[in-house]
């Protein structure tokens, strides 16, 4: 049980020294000064040892297999970390004149172009800070599109029952009524139910493809055509784009807008929960609505010379979604990654992501029920339950996996699968790792029947056991007790 940073240190200790001001001192604004600054007083070694030890309590991609479904926990190349820290990028101020930051604008311009090419779209904006932020951009663009056409009565968005929670939350934030569409027996959006909602109040459909069951929507073209015929637009949630890189472009299927998660598909690090980056790519008829400004070409004198880049505000832009230009450090990382893949490399990514998921499916089916039994894409959804082991739940299986050294899959999602275990191995894991994981899962399936107690009390070998989440929510403690030190400077 590590101490808290506030438990360490001693009065007067400090971790870093700064030079004394080399200018004459000005009078401080006495009326505005704080009496006390209750921050830690720790030494440099003490602080770094503390945060190093804390790090060792994390499971991470660099320390072990992390098949967290829907999150695409693949290897984050370390070269990305170096390129993002090049001084020309790391020390560039976002408000410098564009003539001084042509390198940054070139990165953004080419990444915009490449992401549009990869998704089969006409244009893109890198401004959204995360996937959910990209969704917000997409739904706002759909709204702006209808408004600009004077089509005011469209007030509902269709969302399949397998969708991520961000989809309905985003639609509601944009003032839309959410209508949930059921899934059919093969794990597709129910086409008949979808068509029944396609009327002149339809603003659009939010569709994740492959969907959160890890399945390619078999009637995706028909679904999109039905929405288009009713005058609606189709938003693609690109969370699962790792399955389609170089294999299928959402734009070619008829999607009007899609966001990408650079932190999933394009190997920018997940960072313990962020920063994400959620660029949004659109078909031609939505290009004028993109959040901006975006990077554009001001002029190009000749083919052989680098063009001059500048900021461009799309004509009917929904506006600015955050300060400055998006998560630029993540743009550099994604740019680096795409440069190392090329078209063939990206295709290989999708193929091996799908190969790995189907391999795990083949190794585990039988011992586990596959929620929808047809070839999966980049992830497979199993049911973590057995009729003859009624006391064992997906949660227990997840916790037991930790004893075998693995991060659990996503569990209890999608909501339409009972005791769901959503497993996404990604393309960067080798066969030996998949086999070890499969062996652990098979062993756990046996344990579920023979010694269910072992599962229900798991994990056993980790440094921490199951947490009392009810206590955390009922007796809220959300920060350290910060000792008042009101004697200082008073």
Partner 1 sequence: MSKATQTGYAGSFIPHTEAERAEMLRTIGAAEVSQLFAGIPAKARYPKLNLPEPLTEMEVRGEMESIAAANDSTYDLVSFLGAGAYSHYIPSGVDSILRRGEYYTAYTPYQPEISQGTLQAIFEYQSLIVALTGMEVSNASHYDGATALAEAVNMARVIQRGARKKVILSPGLHPQYRATVHTYEHGSDIQLLGEDLGLSAGPEALIELIDEDTSLVAVAYPDFFGRIYDYTALAEAVHAKGALLAVSVNPTALGLLRPPGEFGADIVTGEGQPLGIPLSFGGPYLGILATRQEYVRSLAGRLVGETLDNRGQRGYVLTLSTREQHIKREKASSNICTNQGLMMLAATVYTSLLGKQGLRQVAESCYHKAHYAAGQIGKLTGFSLPFAETPFFHEFVIKGPLPAAELNRRLLERGIIGGYALGEDYPGLEDCNLLAVTEVNSKEEIDFLIESLKEVTRA
Burial class (CB in 10 A: 0-12, 13-18, 19+), 211: buried
From candidates 111, 253, 281, 334, binder to partner 1 by CB under 8 A? 253
From candidates 65, 156, 290, 336, binder to partner 1 by CB under 8 A? 336
Tokens of 64: 């072990």
CB of 162 to partner 1, least distance (A): 12
From candidates 155, 196, 199, 271, binder to partner 1 by CB under 8 A? 271
CB of 62 to partner 1, least distance (A): 3
> Can residue 349 be called a binding residue for partner 1 (CB under 8 A)?
yes
CB of 388 to partner 1, least distance (A): 27
Within 370-389, the residues that bind partner 1 by CB under 8 A are 374-375, 377
Q: Which stretch binds partner 1 (CB under 8 A): 40-48, 199-207, 229-237, 439-447?
A: 40-48
CB of 69 to partner 1, least distance (A): 11
> Can residue 5 be called a binding residue for partner 1 (CB under 8 A)?
yes
Give Cα separations from 307 to 77, 105, 304 (angstroms): 30, 11, 9
> Can residue 152 be called a binding residue for partner 1 (CB under 8 A)?
no
Task: Enumerate the H helices of 315-459 as residue ranges.
Answer: 328-364, 394-403, 431-450, 452-456
Strand, coil or helix: what is 125?
Answer: strand
- On whether the CB atoms of residues 216 and 357 are closer than 8 A, the answer is no
Q: Which residue lies nearer to partner 1 by CB, 25 or 301?
A: 25
CB of 66 to partner 1, least distance (A): 8
Q: Which stretch binds partner 1 (CB under 8 A): 200-208, 227-235, 265-273, 380-388?
A: 265-273
CB of 412 to partner 1, least distance (A): 10
Within 433-472, the residues that bind partner 1 by CB under 8 A are 457, 459, 462-469, 471-472
Q: Which residue in the block uniquely carries the two structure tokens 């890189």?
A: 245
Give CA–CA dist 343/111, Å, rounded.
14
41-45: which pairs have CB atoms within 8 A and are 24 or more residues apart?
41/9, 41/10, 41/11, 41/12, 41/13, 41/14, 42/5, 42/8, 42/9, 42/13, 42/14, 42/15, 43/9, 43/13, 43/14, 43/15, 44/15, 44/16
From candidates 193, 351, 436, 454, binder to partner 1 by CB under 8 A? 351
Q: Which residue lies nearer to partner 1 by CB, 58 or 450?
A: 58
Please state whether beta strands 420-423 and 380-383 pair in parallel, antiparallel, or not at all (unpaired): antiparallel
# residues near partner 1 by CB under 8 A: 204
- On whether the CB atoms of residues 305 and 236 are closer than 8 A, the answer is no
Q: Which stretch binds partner 1 (CB under 8 A): 198-206, 379-387, 440-448, 478-486?
A: 478-486
> Can residue 9 be called a binding residue for partner 1 (CB under 8 A)?
yes
Give CA–CA dist 334/121, Å, rounded.
18
Give CA–CA dist 397/158, Å, rounded.
34
> Can residue 298 be called a binding residue for partner 1 (CB under 8 A)?
no
CB of 74 to partner 1, least distance (A): 8
Give CA–CA dist 400/402, Å, rounded.
5
> Can residue 246 be called a binding residue for partner 1 (CB under 8 A)?
yes
> Can residue 25 be called a binding residue for partner 1 (CB under 8 A)?
yes
> Can residue 291 be called a binding residue for partner 1 (CB under 8 A)?
yes
Residues in the chain: 490
Angle at 421 between CA 418 and CA 426, to 5 degrees: 150
Q: Which residue lies nearer to partner 1 by CB, 434 or 448?
A: 434
Please state whether beta strands 294-299 and 280-282 pair in parallel, antiparallel, or not at all (unpaired): unpaired
Q: Which residue lies nearer to partner 1 by CB, 361 or 393?
A: 361
Give CA–CA dist 138/143, Å, rounded.
9
Binding mask 391-430 for partner 1 (x = CB under 8 A): -------xx--x----xx-x--x-------------xxxx
Within 59-118, the residues that bind partner 1 by CB under 8 A are 59-63, 66, 68, 71, 73-77, 79, 81-97, 100-104, 106-107, 114, 117-118
Q: Which residue lies nearer to partner 1 by CB, 190 or 217?
A: 217
Within 196-215, the residues that bind partner 1 by CB under 8 A are 215
């Amino acid at each position: 049980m590590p101490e808290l940073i506030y438990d360490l240190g001693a009065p007067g200790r400090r971790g870093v020294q700064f030079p004394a001001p080399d200018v004459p001192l000005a009078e401080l604004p006495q009326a505005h000064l704080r009496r006390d600054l209750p921050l830690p007083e720790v030494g440099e070694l003490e602080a770094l040892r503390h945060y190093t030890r804390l790090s060792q309590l994390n499971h991470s991609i660099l320390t072990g297999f992390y098949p967290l479904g829907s999150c695409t926990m693949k290897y984050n190349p370390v070269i990305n970390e170096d390129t993002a820290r090049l001084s020309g990028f790391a020390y560039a101020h976002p408000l410098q004149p564009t003539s001084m930051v042509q390198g940054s604008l070139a990165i953004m311009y080419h990444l915009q172009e490449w992401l549009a090419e990869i998704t089969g779209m006409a244009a893109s904006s890198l401004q959204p800070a995360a996937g959910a932020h990209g969704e917000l951009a997409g739904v706002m663009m759909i709204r702006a599109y209808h408004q600009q056409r004077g089509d005011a009565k469209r007030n509902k968005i269709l969302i399949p029952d397998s969708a991520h929670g961000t989809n309905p939350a985003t639609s509601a934030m944009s003032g839309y009524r959410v209508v949930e569409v059921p899934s059919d027996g093969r794990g597709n959006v129910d086409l008949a139910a979808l068509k029944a909602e396609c009327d002149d109040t339809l603003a659009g459909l939010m569709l994740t493809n492959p969907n959160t069951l890890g399945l390619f929507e078999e009637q995706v073209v028909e679904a999109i055509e039905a929405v288009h015929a009713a005058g609606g637009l189709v938003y693609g949630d690109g969370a699962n784009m790792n399955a389609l890189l170089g294999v299928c472009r959402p734009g070619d299927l008829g999607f009007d807008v899609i966001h990408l998660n650079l932190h999933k598909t394009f190997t920018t690090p997940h960072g313990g929960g962020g920063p994400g980056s959620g660029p949004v790519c659109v078909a031609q008829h939505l290009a004028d609505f993109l959040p901006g400004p975006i990077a554009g070409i001001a002029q190009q004198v000749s083919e052989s010379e680098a063009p001059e880049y500048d900021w461009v505000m799309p004509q009917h832009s929904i506006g600015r979604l955050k300060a400055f230009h998006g998560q630029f450090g993540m743009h550099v990382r994604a740019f680096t990654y795409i440069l190392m893949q090329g078209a063939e490399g990206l295709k290989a990514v999708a193929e091996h992501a799908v190969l790995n998921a189907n391999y795990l499916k083949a190794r585990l089916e039988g011992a586990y029920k596959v929620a929808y039994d047809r070839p999966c894409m980049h992830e497979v959804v199993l049911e973590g339950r057995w009729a003859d082991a009624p006391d064992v739940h997906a949660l227990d299986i997840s916790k037991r996996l930790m004893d075998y050294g693995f991060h659990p899959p996503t569990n209890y999602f999608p909501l339409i699968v009972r005791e769901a275990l959503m497993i996404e191995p990604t393309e960067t894991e080798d066969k030996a790792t998949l086999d070890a994981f499969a062996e652990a899962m098979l062993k756990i399936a046996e344990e579920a029947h023979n010694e269910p107690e072992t599962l229900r009390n798991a994990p056993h070998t980790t440094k921490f056991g199951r947490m009392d989440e009810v206590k955390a929510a009922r007796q809220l403690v959300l920060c350290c007790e910060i000792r008042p030190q009101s004697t200082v400077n008073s």
